[in-house]
Structure 1
């Protein structure tokens, strides 16, 4: 079976890395020859770091044009394929002419989404058209599935997952173990620069906790945050170091605004924390409510007071951190691991390629732990 996956970026882009590149060994093991055609490479991410908006735009236009021409050539020389998977769209902000041509040529095409890209300007009409013409859709959570099923009868939820052989606790320390009250507390956040705004909700809690604990906020990103009064340990993201930057942290955080865009997110950073055995506090938005059973494998926090109380409890109680860290690791191993989902995604590809019926399965993927209220952690 042959598949061409048109990704948004090379392996350096987190979305493409977690939605396709990490699955390639599993596809190969399942007898699927999957070739990935990346639209943007490392140069694109370098351009995004340029501070001047005018210069950034000046550099992006010719670079994007070259990338578009290269992708067009790939399409014109595509040849026979059992399935084509498109991450979002072939040509961002362009009319869906190329996708229509693929369907006219009778290719089986699947659209993949792990963000609510239908909310971005210029995509309100394009995404419904793409989903309607596609053979099926692969989406990252139930929220995205609810949107996609308005336009497609073949929708499958495949959550963003992590490789638990790579993201694992440091073997030199126990899961969830960390400093005692008098020692350093490291709260970690990892993510893209345009999401740094979500950290604002944490600032009051961190400032209030600093007099009691030797507390540092570690930010793993392409740029540091602006957070006066908070001790920042900024670490530029590096693929080779990202696991180690999480392993020796005390607590992971994933604050979000309760918006439609945020509800479409797939909880990657939260899964990364849990996979390495670091207890986490997260906003009860979108899939965070499905991943975290409040009080068992982590905490949910809505208000500034919630953030203060949850972080204070974890800072003060090493045993609580250890218990939640172990529970979080189990959650990822059982429900959000590459080992579990590699064979499943390979089967999804086969089903789409054979044009068989594909059930909508958001509840099968994101069912809460039986007997638990995820918002309160009670039974």
Structure 2
């Protein structure tokens, strides 16, 4: 079986890295020849980090134009493929002409979404058109599936997952035996710069806790946050170091505002924390409610007082941290690991090349898969 995957970016981009690049060995083992054709490379993220908006636009426009030409060439020389998977869209903000041409040429096309791109300006009409013309859709959670199901009769939920052979606990680290207010406490957050705004949700709790504990907020990102009154340990994200930057932290956090956009997120940072065996506190928004069983493998915090109380409890009780960390690791191993989902994604790709309704995907991929379909026939 042959698949071409048109990704948003090279392996440097977290979405593409977790939605396709980490799956390649599993696809190959299943006999699937999957070739990835990225749109943007590392330079794109460097351009986005430029502070001057005028300079950023000056650099971005010719770079994007060159990337579009490269993708157009990739389409022209692609040849026969059993399935084409498009992460989001072929040409951002452009009309879906290329996707229509692929369907006119009788290619089987699957649209993949791991965030609520349909909420962003310029995509309110484009995403319904893409989903309606595609053979099927692969989405990261039930919220996205509910949206895609309005336009596509073949929708499958494949959650974002982590490689538990790479993200694993540091077994040499001691969790401690008693609560010590003098103990150094590291609260960690990892993510992209445009999500730094969510840290404002827990900033009051961190400021309130600092007089009691030797507490530091570690931020693993491309730029530091602005949080007066909070001690920041800023670390530039690095692929080789990202696991270690999480392993020696005390607690992981995933604050979110309760918006439609946030409800479409796939909880990647939360899974990273749990995979390395540290407890997590998260806002009860979207998929976070599915991942965290409150009080068992982590805590959910809806208010400023919730954030203070949950973080205070974890700062004071190393035994609680150890118990929740172990439970969180089991959650990822059983439900959100690459080892579990690698073979399942291969099954999804294989099914999308068949003339069967998506309920076959649900049967073929044994385990906690969500299948969604309309009763309007097959595509």
The bucket for the TM-score relative to the shorter chain is over 0.9
1:86 deviates by 0.1
The alpha-carbon deviation at position 203 of structure 1 amounts to 1.0
Deviation at 1:175, TM superposition (A): 7.1
Q: 1:325 to 1:175 in 2, by over 3 A?
A: farther
Mapped to 2, the partners of 1:158 and 1:30 lie a distance apart of 17
Q: Deviations over 1:89-138 (max 9, x none)?
A: 00000000000000000000000000000000000000000000000000
TM-score, with structure 1 as normaliser: 0.94
Contact 2:90-2:99 within 8 A present in 1 as well: yes
Q: 1:178 to 1:66 in 2, by over 3 A?
A: farther
Residues 10 and 40 in structure 2, CA contact (< 8 A), matched pair in contact too: yes
Pick closer, same or farther for the CA change 1:319–1:91 going to 2, 3 Å.
same
In 1, are the aligned partners of 2:175 and 2:319 still within 8 Å (CA)? no
Give me the whole-angstrom Cα distance separating, in 1, the residues matched to 2:70 and 2:177: 49
- Once residues 204 and 159 of structure 1 are traced to their aligned partners in structure 2, the CA distance between those partners, rounded to angstroms, is 32
Alignment of 1:1-379 (within 5 A): 1-173=1-173, 180-359=180-359, 364-365=368-369
Tell me the equivalent position of 1:374: none
Offset of 1:180 from its aligned partner? 3.9
Q: Which runs of 5+ in 2 are unaligned?
A: 372-379
How far the C-alpha of 1:176 sits from its partner, in A, is: 9.2
Q: What whole-Å deviation, never above 9, does each CA across 1:126-156 have from its counterpart, x for those lacking one?
A: 0000000000000000000000000000000
Q: Which deviations, in whole Å up to 9, do the C-alpha atoms of 1:207-252 show, x marking residues without a partner?
A: 1101110000000000000000100000000000000000000000
Aligned match of 1:370:
none
Q: What is the alpha-carbon distance in structure 1 between the residues aligned to residue 207 and residue 323 of structure 2?
A: 26
Shift of 1:181: 3.1
Q: Which runs of 5+ in 1 are unaligned?
A: 368-379
Contact 1:256 1:283 in 2 (8 A): yes
Hey, what's the Cα distance between the residues in 2 that align with 1:233 and 1:78? Answer: 46
Q: Secondary structure at the match of 2:341?
A: helix
More moved, 350-359 vs 328-337: 350-359
Distance 1:59 1:155, change over 3 A: same
Tell me the matched-pair count. Answer: 367
Cα deviation code 1:285-338 (max 9, x no counterpart): 000000000000000001100000000000000010000000000000000000
How far did residue 171 of structure 1 move?
2.4
- Give 1:172 deviation, angstroms: 0.8
Q: Any conservation in 2 of the 1:176–1:325 contact (CA below 8 Å)?
A: no
State the Cα distance separating 1:366 from its structure 2 match.
Answer: 7.1
Q: Distance in 2 between matches of 1:91 and 1:349?
A: 22
* C-alpha separation in 2, matches of 1:271 and 1:174: 22
Displacement, 1:58? 1.0
- Please tell me whether the aligned partners of residues 290 and 366 of structure 1 are also in contact (alpha carbons under 8 angstroms): no
User: Conserved in 2, the CA contact under 8 Å of 1:119 and 1:261?
Assistant: yes
Q: How many angstroms apart in 2 are the aligned matches of 1:336 and 1:157?
A: 12
In structure 2, the partner of 1:377 is none
- Contact preservation (8 Å) 1:117, 1:123: yes
